[in-house]
Chain A
Amino acid sequence: MVDNIVIEVKDLHKTFVSEVKPSWWGRLRGHKKEITRVEVLKGVNLTVARGATVAIIGSSGSGKSTLLRCMNKLETLDGGRIFVNGHLIGYEERDGELVAEKASITAKKRTDLGMVFQHFNLFANKTALGNVMAPLRDVKKLSTQAAQDIAIPNLEKVGLGDKLHNYPSKLSGGQKQRVAIARALAMSPSVMLFDEPTSALDPELVGEVLAVIQQIALAGTTMVIVTHEMQFARDIADEIVVMDQGKIVEQGPPDVIFLNPQHAKTKALLSRSGMNPPA
């Protein structure tokens, strides 16, 4: 059973706390520390099966990106557990209590997850090839030659075989995102996480990135995609997850969700993106 599940999210809670401290002058005048709490995730349960493509949709602020970022512990959790390939991520369990684990252990577990960010996050001082090779050498400790032998085919796979030696500043947004995808793929993770991969792109560049993601999905890679591209989600996903105000409000196969949405939020989301279900 466990073998077929890559990610298991159990009762995940996350609250963002921001503090505004008064200055010493303000304190003298009796101002108190202002604490704002925003509950972003209110008990989320989700399983991602091996080989599946899960698309998470929802309006801004619904918690979908936070959910994704929790999966590889880029956010600390306030409650619940996340298992990747059966391993609890970011924490160890001692007598039922969660204790933060060593950074090096979390780092090792993260190699199981590849992540693609909205703003690409390429290493600015490295070429396309250098970006893909860096983690192979620094994290997987491969030799330069071995790293190159893995990096080049991955860059060719995303259609950038002719841009190997370009620095990010000499690449278009779509090309940057494809380098980022190649960089994550080259580490051969067991699941790819995409955090709104096309949201920061010019409209004419969205297609090339979506085509690459589709190609990866067709190759059987397990993936979780947070996206605003409804048509794309429908085309590519095996399962659609609809989030609203920190909760999953509806989930199911694309045809069911898109043709017969049950929840009011899903209906609103679809009609806003011009994908009205048949009346």
Chain B
Amino acid sequence: MDFIERTLAVFPALLGATPVVLQLALGAMALALSLGLLIALARISSFRVLRGIAVVYLEVMRGTPLLVQLVYIFFVLPSIGINIEPVLAGILGLGLNYAAYLSEVFRSAILSVESGQGEAALSLGYTPTKALWRIVLPQSFVVALGPIGNYFIAVVKDTALTSVIAVTEILKTANILNSQTFQTTEIYTAAALLYLIISLPLSRIVVLLERKARTRG
């Protein structure tokens, strides 16, 4: 009983770090969604150079650890005169990394829309660009919604990595508390629970959004 009480007592201190986590997750996701879509479009474009750039980006971001990328942005870039404050560096690192994964989600979602619909749009006088935006992409987003939701939950959890680049998010706050009180079990249990409390409603929202989008088809 004492353990539960002591664990609950840690929560108020950790809760203060929640806004930063949401800021990191939302910022990173906004960046990842827009950049991911651009990379996906580049990958299916007819310009070879664009395709090449997209593939290199994907392989580099997917092939190096997110933790290393965060460290790189925060500790290496200053040596060439680029100083980015911690939270922004966290958003950039997470966003650039997740953009690679989301580009693959978008690419397969775009390819999953039968090419016949695009052809029909062209035959009706749509330009290729308009056919993509008005006919193909709206359907791709519905297909992509589930995976996007999963990545959103993943990015919420990966915000913990930014603790190494001086962002005072949940884990960092827990580390500080731990060094002061040595209530290791209580503090990290509370931290884990807090991540769970943030993630669970998100999973529900993803399921609901997906169901709503699919009833139309």
Chains A and B are bound partners: yes
Binding site for B on A (CB under 8 A): 72, 74, 103-104, 107-108, 110-111, 113-115, 117, 119-125, 134-135, 138-140, 167, 169, 180, 183-184, 187
The chain A residue with its CB closest to the CB of B141 is A125
Tell whether, in the assembled complex, residue A125 and residue B122 are in contact, meaning their CB atoms are under 8 Å apart: no
Which residues of chain B come closer than 8 Å to A114, judged between CB atoms?
Answer: 123-124
Selected A-B contacts with CB under 8 Å, 12 pairs: A104-B127, A115-B120, A117-B120, A120-B116, A123-B117, A123-B120, A123-B139, A134-B124, A135-B126, A138-B130, A139-B126, A183-B124
Tell whether, in the assembled complex, residue B125 and residue A139 are in contact, meaning their CB atoms are under 8 Å apart: yes
Given A74-B119, A117-B116, A117-B119, does the pair A125, B138 have CB atoms closer than 8 Å?
yes
- Majority secondary structure of chain B interface residues (helix, strand, loop or mixed): helix
B84-115 contact mask (Cβ, 8 Å, vs A): 1 or 0: 00000000000000000000000000000110
Tell whether, in the assembled complex, residue A115 and residue B216 are in contact, meaning their CB atoms are under 8 Å apart: no
CA distance A9 to B165 in the complex (A): 67
Tell whether, in the assembled complex, residue A107 and residue B138 are in contact, meaning their CB atoms are under 8 Å apart: no
Which residues of chain B come closer than 8 Å to A180, judged between CB atoms?
Answer: 120
Given A119-B116, A121-B116, A123-B135, does the pair A184, B124 have CB atoms closer than 8 Å?
yes
CA distance A169 to B126 in the complex (A): 23
CA distance A66 to B119 in the complex (A): 14
Q: With A122-B117, A125-B216, A125-B217 given, can you name 18 additional A-B contacts, CB distance below 8 Å?
A: A107-B126, A110-B124, A113-B123, A117-B120, A121-B117, A121-B120, A123-B117, A123-B120, A125-B139, A134-B134, A135-B125, A135-B126, A138-B134, A139-B125, A167-B217, A180-B120, A183-B124, A184-B123
Given A134-B134, A138-B134, does the pair A124, B217 have CB atoms closer than 8 Å?
yes
Q: How distant is B48 from chain A, measured CB to nearest CB, in Å?
A: 14
Tell whether, in the assembled complex, residue B127 and residue A103 are in contact, meaning their CB atoms are under 8 Å apart: yes
Binding site for A on B (CB under 8 A): 113-114, 116-117, 119-130, 134-135, 138-139, 142, 216-217
The chain A residue with its CB closest to the CB of B213 is A125
Which residues of chain B come closer than 8 Å to A117, judged between CB atoms?
Answer: 116, 119-120, 123
Tell whether, in the assembled complex, residue A124 and residue B139 are in contact, meaning their CB atoms are under 8 Å apart: yes
Q: How distant is A138 from chain B, measured CB to nearest CB, in Å?
A: 5
Residue from A107, A120, A139, A140 whose CB has the most chain B CB atoms within 10 Å? A107
Which residues of chain A come closer than 8 Å to B217, judged between CB atoms?
Answer: 124-125, 167, 169
Which residues of chain A come closer than 8 Å to B216, judged between CB atoms?
Answer: 125, 167
Which residues of chain B come closer than 8 Å to A139, judged between CB atoms?
Answer: 124-126, 130
Counting from the closest, the 4 A-B pairs by CB-CB distance are A121-B120, A121-B116, A111-B125, A115-B123
The chain A residue with its CB closest to the CB of B116 is A121
CA distance A113 to B113 in the complex (A): 24
Which residues of chain A come closer than 8 Å to B120, judged between CB atoms?
Answer: 115, 117, 121-123, 180, 183
Which residues of chain B come closer than 8 Å to A121, judged between CB atoms?
Answer: 114, 116-117, 119-120
The chain A residue with its CB closest to the CB of B118 is A121
The chain B residue with its CB closest to the CB of A119 is B116
Given A124-B139, A125-B139, A125-B142, does the pair A107, B127 have CB atoms closer than 8 Å?
yes
Q: How distant is A267 from chain B, measured CB to nearest CB, in Å?
A: 34
Which residues of chain B come closer than 8 Å to A134, judged between CB atoms?
Answer: 124, 134-135
Tell whether, in the assembled complex, residue B134 and residue A110 are in contact, meaning their CB atoms are under 8 Å apart: no
CA distance A139 to B217 in the complex (A): 23
CA distance A89 to B128 in the complex (A): 16
Tell whether, in the assembled complex, residue A187 and residue B124 are in contact, meaning their CB atoms are under 8 Å apart: yes
Which residues of chain B come closer than 8 Å to A113, judged between CB atoms?
Answer: 123
Residue from A114, A135, A180 whose CB has the most chain B CB atoms within 10 Å? A135
Tell whether, in the assembled complex, residue A124 and residue B117 are in contact, meaning their CB atoms are under 8 Å apart: yes
The chain B residue with its CB closest to the CB of A113 is B123
Residue from B114, B117, B124 within 8 A of A111 (CB atoms): B124
Q: How distant is B44 from chain A, measured CB to nearest CB, in Å?
A: 16
Q: How distant is B4 from chain A, measured CB to nearest CB, in Å?
A: 49
Residue from B116, B117, B125, B130 within 8 A of A110 (CB atoms): B125
Which residues of chain A come closer than 8 Å to B134, judged between CB atoms?
Answer: 134, 138
Which residues of chain B come closer than 8 Å to A124, judged between CB atoms?
Answer: 113-114, 117, 139, 217
Which residues of chain A come closer than 8 Å to B142, judged between CB atoms?
Answer: 125
The chain B residue with its CB closest to the CB of A140 is B125
CA distance A107 to B129 in the complex (A): 11
Residue from B117, B121, B123, B216 whose CB has the most chain A CB atoms within 10 Å? B123
Residue from B119, B120, B130 whose CB has the most chain A CB atoms within 10 Å? B120
Which residues of chain B come closer than 8 Å to A104, judged between CB atoms?
Answer: 127
The chain B residue with its CB closest to the CB of A111 is B125
Which residues of chain A come closer than 8 Å to B114, judged between CB atoms?
Answer: 119, 121, 124
